Amino acid sequence: MMGHELSCSAVDDLLVDLVDDALDRALAAQVEQHVASCPRCRSLVGDLREIRQAASTLPPVPPPPHVWPRLRAALEAERADPFHSTRPTARLRRAVGLAHGRPTSESKGRLLPAWGRMAAAAALLVVAISAGLWSLWVSREQAEPLRATRTEAGDRRAQDLVATVESEIALAAEHYEKAIAGLEEAARASGTELDPDVMATLKTNLALVDQAIDDSRRAVRDQPDNLVAQASLLDAFRRKVTLLQDTVALMREVRLDRSAMPAGLNEG
């Protein structure tokens, strides 16, 4: 296709391989011969080799000093969030038929600190709620054998606890729902949302739990001393918080998997 006399344009077509030292020896010799006698090509090849050489010896650029304090703060926020690594339960995974690591979302580092703080606040609420649930459970267990002689004061205490827990649960739910809305928005903005089927399943489950909460709440109102109704109300609350936590964890997991392990490179 080309004779001994290479043209400048023929050299141009071989430049990338020439600079990469990827030409076979015979062709390379022909090109070098042309380059040696042609000022235009000599200048070009010299420059490109210069650039390649300079690029391969660029020294590292240290990150600006404010990056570590910011990272450290993000780490601490994450450590303060006791369920940051909470993975969606197997039950939820089955329910939504989630394939692991489905690439659906972009990760955005600057969302993390804000999210970390919100999660930490919600976590504190959950701790408070759990303590409330636990003490109610204890009082119920203690009350059980004494059913015949239970006092009105004891009933009131249980009622008060239900009211306290209910308001705390509402706050926690608000936090989680905000977190979910924020994650949904970020996913939408990046054009990569959670699978719509997954979201639909989560919303159906949430609606079912809300229905159970309403039913139990009615039962407790009708029969204030019905321990079974109280227990199912608390159980429904607990399921709601778990479901919201699972949803947040699921969305985070999809984002993290996407950011950490795209195709192409494997971890060592």
Partner 1 sequence: MSDRDRGDDASLVSRCVAGDISAFEELYHQHSGRLYSLTLRMLGNAADAEDLLQEVFLTAYRKLASFKGASSLGTWLYRLAVNACLDHLRSRSARNDLRTDSLDRAEAPRIGARDPAMVPTRFDLERAIRQLPPASRSCFVLHDVEGFEHHEIASMLGIAVGTSKSQVHKARMKIRAKLVGASAPTTDRAGRASQPGETP
Footprint of Zn ion (CB under 5 A): 8, 38, 40-41
Cα gap 239→229, rounded to integer Å: 15
For helices 227-260 and 196-222, the axis angle rounded to 10 degrees is 160
131 or 260, CB closer to partner 1? 260
Residues 139, 159, 164, 192: which binds partner 1 (CB under 8 A)?
192
* 228 three-class SS: helix
Question: Residue 181 is which amino acid?
Answer: A
Kindly tell me which residue out of 29, 33, 36, 47 binds partner 1, with binding defined by CB under 8 A: 47
Among 2, 29, 36, 40, binds partner 1 (CB under 8 A): 40
Other beta carbons within 10 Å of 238: 17
Cα–Cα distances (Å) from 234 to 115, 126, 164, 216, in that order, read 27, 13, 11, 9
d(CA 105, CA 190): 7
3 interacts with, out of Zn ion, partner 1, none, CB within 5 to 8 A per kind: none
Which 17-36 positions form the footprint of partner 1 (CB under 8 A)? 17, 19-20
Pick 17 or 215: Cβ nearer partner 1: 17
Could you say whether residue 9 binds partner 1 (CB under 8 A)? yes
- What secondary structure letter does DSSP report for 146? G
Residues forming the site for partner 1 (CB under 8 A):
8-9, 12-13, 15-17, 19-20, 39-44, 46-48, 50-52, 54-56, 58-64, 67-68, 70-72, 74-76, 78-79, 84-85, 106-110, 112, 190-192, 256, 258-262, 264-268
